[in-house]
Structure 1
Amino acid sequence: MITTATFLVLFIANGQLSLSKAQLHVGFYSKTCPSAESIVRKVVQQAVTRDPGSAAVLLRLHFHDCFVEGCDGSILIKHVVNNDERFAAGNAGVGGFDVIDGAKSELERLCPGVVSCADIVALAARDAVVAAKGPFYDVPTGRRDGQTAEKSNAANLPDVEDSINTLKSKFREKGLSDLDLVLLSAGAHTIGTTACFFVVPRLDAKDPTINPEFFQVLRSKCPQGGDVNVRIPLDWESQFVFDDQIFRNIRNGKGVILSDSVLYQDNNMKQMIDSYVVTNGSSKASFATDFAKAMVKMGSIGVKIGIKGEIRRICNATN
């Protein structure tokens, strides 16, 4: 049951989301820095060519930025004392900073003081998805960079061990729906890896939702007493290709991490996942189309526009 207070929070969150989204627009730099998007795209393509795993890293960076203080590039800030947002426990393993810095350096050379780091993160995530054979989508731009990055602000990020209700709550607090949760959490895991650290607890507890044969595969990669830092694919079938295979995996008990598998235990989300897997004539839902919409929606969370924030000269420090 939704209380009046909760309703107001959701109403305000969605209102802010709509207001912010209205202020961003596609082609924001068309006059001030016409080559902005092509420069970011080139840097990302080079990074993914060197290391295909970079695509997932850049996608995750955008997610983790937006879920703390909004999509304002605050996760990029790094002071001498490691008390910044990027060092929060929930941001462990987040990377891609060098790619963003590389794009920013080139943009500052051509268009100094124009393109925000927050927009670079959003564009890089889109270009990473495309580089992994995922959908192209227009990214509304015009974000300005945040000026704070407190570690404590990242204390409530979605976690792999969260219950389904906790995950729903954390997404709803950001104005995101249950479908957005399926798309941006499980769906985004069509590419990327995770550490055995997050898998071993499920194996030790003999999680019954894991397919028995797949359980043995996971145990062979993450043995008891083994190195918990070993990384394994989130999508065992096509870890470098952005496709809908991850949903088949989850349906078949081959979800690698708990936060993916737990979605299929919720009847509503089970139907959503099945809609991307089961084909009834031409009625199969389009994961690519829906994912693109969810990314644009997420990219509008809490953005700073107008006179708010700043355009950083370098991405890892405020002006």
Structure 2
Amino acid sequence: MAFVAALCLSSVLVFSISSGADALSLNYYEKTCPDVDSIVTNAVNNAMMKDKTVPAALLRMHFHDCFIRGCDASVLLNSKGNNKAEKDGPPNISLHAFYVIDNAKKEVEASCPGVVSCADILALAARDAVVFSGGPTWDVPKGRKDGRKSRASETTQLPSPTFNITQLQQSFSQRGLSLDDLVALSGGHTLGFSHCSSFQSRIRNFNATHDIDPSMHPSFASSLRSICPKSNRAKNAGTTMDPSSTTFDNTYFKSILQKTGLFSSDQSLLSTPKTKDLVTKFASSKANFNKAFVSSMIKMSSITGGQEVRKDCRVVN
């Protein structure tokens, strides 16, 4: 979930949380594709056995998909002609592991052609990514449709690692997500890696008064400065999101309390009493975090917006 773009605060966003007649269903494919869960799980497991970065990649991919046009797999579409797709927008350049969804889709199509959306496959894969990393499991509501539009320009709507709590709250509330959801979903940062460019501004020339962000522990800032060169020429330089970056746990929240949150947006969770209380609660109990994360993931992944079931996740029908 390492978001890396600025939100266009003036944009008008339209999202819908599924409800009533349009609600997603746990047994949506019970008769039409009963093995879809296991097919996707196998694809994720096979990929993870070869590449330990796959879980973080899939979880981040799902977040970035849902935050643009709802969970409609628009992030999977390839650029075509003059249209530059979401995956080629600045914050999504570092997304990877698209092949995992392709592999899962291929197997699903062989079992039940034309039935399961790419958006549902991505939602299932994100769940499996958490589970295979030691996190909680949950039943994923299904029935999403795939979108037909994908624009790189819209990736400016993603929350930025430089956001303060007010900007974060506005971004999440535009998508029907609460402060509780904001803190719980931020816990997805327990997985993965970040390049220096996402936190460079915190460790050098922070402002006219401070060279280093005062909300960051000095020794942590020093270690980051040793990793990230001043010139920023080492494009692949960076660090893990937290010390246990391949394990889904509550270390992320403990790090924030220790002033070693990597992003400004992470550390900003201590800036209001409500969010600080939640950080403290999750830092002291992995069980409380897991329960909240599952609830918020189901809520976020129920933001719908698609129109079709794609035959190929990279192109519209």
Structure 2 residue 277 is matched with structure 1 residue 271? yes
- 2:108 aligned counterpart, secondary structure: helix
Aligned runs of 1:215-226 on 2, under 5 Å? 215-226=221-232
Greater mean alpha carbon deviation, residues 59-68 or residues 72-81: 72-81
Match of 1:312 among 310, 313, 316: 310
Residue aligning to 2:236: 229
* Deviations 1:147-197, CA, capped at 9 Å, x for gaps: 111222322111111221111001000000011111112x00111010011
Q: Is the 8 A contact 2:145 2:304 kept in 1?
A: no
> Closer, same or farther in 2 for the Cα pair 1:170/1:119, shift >3 Å?
same
SS in 1 for 2:69: coil
CA contact (8 A) 1:116 1:144 kept: yes
Residue 199 (structure 2) aligns with: 199
Identity %: 41
Q: Which runs of 5+ in 2 are unaligned?
A: 1-11, 207-211
Which residue does 2:124 correspond to in 1? 123
Please state how far the C-alpha of 1:20 moved relative to its aligned partner: 6.9
For residue 47 of structure 1, report the CA deviation from its aligned partner: 1.2
Report the residue type matching 1:243 in the other structure.
D
Task: Tell me which residue corresponds to 1:5.
Answer: none
For the 8 Å contact 1:222–1:228, the answer to whether it is kept is: no
Asked if the contact 2:74/2:146 (under 8 Å) is kept, the reply is yes
User: CA separation in 2, counterparts of 1:303 and 1:233?
Assistant: 33
User: Partners in 1 of 2:95 and 2:172 — Cα distance?
Assistant: 19
Distance 1:94 1:74, change over 3 A: same
Q: Deviations over 1:263-311 (max 9, x none)?
A: 11222211110111246xxxx861011101110000011344xxxx111
- Shift in Å at residue 33 of structure 1? 1.0
User: Closer, same or farther in 2 for the Cα pair 1:20/1:163, shift >3 Å?
Assistant: farther
The aligned runs of 1:1-319 (5 Å cut-off) are: 16-19=16-19, 23-81=23-81, 83-185=84-186, 187-204=187-204, 205=206, 206-226=212-232, 227-235=234-242, 237-278=243-284, 286-304=288-306, 309-319=307-317
**Per-residue CA shift, 1:99-157, capped at 9, x if unaligned?**
10010011111111011000000000000000100000110001111111122232211
Query: Within 2, Cα distance between the matches of 1:154 and 1:21?
Result: 30
Distance 1:21 1:61, change over 3 A: farther
- Per the TM alignment, residue 213 of structure 1 is displaced from its structure 2 partner at its CA by 1.4
**What is the TM-score with the length of structure 1 in the denominator?**
0.88
**44-53 or 135-144: bigger deviation:** 44-53
- Distance in 2 of aligned mates of 1:258 and 1:51: 29
Which residue pairs with 2:3 in the alignment?
none
For structure 1, list consecutive stretches of 5 or more residues without a partner in the other structure: 1-8
Number of the residue aligned with 2:5: none
When structure 1 is superposed on structure 2, of 17-26 and 217-226 the one drifting more is: 17-26
Q: Which residue identity does 1:35 align to in structure 2?
A: D
Contact preservation (8 Å) 2:79, 2:88: no
Q: How many residues align?
A: 298
* Structure 2 Cα separation of the partners of residues 79 and 217 of structure 1: 39
Report the residue type matching 1:209 in the other structure.
S
Looking at structure 2, the residues matched to 22 and 79 of structure 1 have their Cα atoms a distance apart, in angstroms, of 30
Identify the range of structure 1 (261-270 vs 80-89) with the bigger mean alpha-carbon deviation. Answer: 80-89
Amino acid at match of 2:131: V
1:189 is paired with a residue whose SS is: helix
Question: Which range moved further: 224-233 or 29-38?
Answer: 224-233
Superposition deviation, residue 46 in structure 1: 1.2
In structure 2, relative to structure 1, the CA distance for the partners of 1:301 and 1:315 (3 Å cut) is same
Matched letter for residue 300 of structure 2 = M
Q: Which runs of 4+ in 1 moved over 4 A?
A: none
After alignment, is 146-155 or 294-303 more displaced? 146-155
What is the letter of the counterpart of residue 202 of structure 2?
R
SS in 1 for 2:283: coil
Opposite residue 310 of structure 1, the aligned amino acid is: E
- What is the TM-score normalised by the length of structure 2? 0.89
TM-aligned CA distance change 1:20 to 1:197, over 3 Å = farther
CA distance in 2 between counterparts of 1:44 and 1:22 reads: 28
